Amino acid sequence: MASTSLPDDIRRFVLTSVPSVPFVEALLLFRGSDEAIDIGHVSSRLYISEQAASQVVAQLRETGIVEPAANGTAYRYAPRNDELGSLLDRLATFYATHLIEVTQLIHSRTERAARQFADAFKLRKEP
């Protein structure tokens, strides 16, 4: 589903770097906190298992959005550069007002990947 209201750079970021809705929700959780947050807090706030929360936080780390806090058991919001920080600020603003549009884009990405994976196993007639 194409949309014209989603800015191109946000669309590109979502399509290339956002694996799931919990990823965005965790990003917003970290972005909105002045304190470091541990995996248990992410898990309880997003209503996901601690294992899933741990995976989401690992993805946020790999993307350069969070970093380990000084205590080593929690993480804090720390975009790797100002450009990413600005993009995340705009994503947060856009997400707050266009939740359905952004989540549909995220789901379209994951559905497309699942379809491509399934297609790889289709039996094809040999010529």
Could you tell me if residue 88 is inside a domain?
Answer: yes
Q: What is the pLDDT of residues 28-42, one digit of tens each?
A: 999 999 999 999 999
Sheet (strand 66-68) strand order: 37-38, 74-77, 66-68
Predicted confidence (pLDDT) per residue in 64-87, tens digit = 999 999 888 899 999 999 999 999
Q: Does residue 105 sit within a domain?
A: yes
Q: 91 lies in a domain? A: yes
Counted domains in the chain: 1
Closest CA to 25 of 65, 62, 73: 65
Is residue 81 assigned to a domain?
Answer: yes
Whether 82 is covered by a domain: the verdict is yes
- 49 within a domain of the structure (yes/no): yes
pTM across the whole model? 0.80
CATH of the domain at 19: 1.10.10.10
Give the domain range for residue 109.
8-119
Assess if residue 27 is contained within a domain.
yes
Q: What percent of the chain has pLDDT over 90?
A: 67
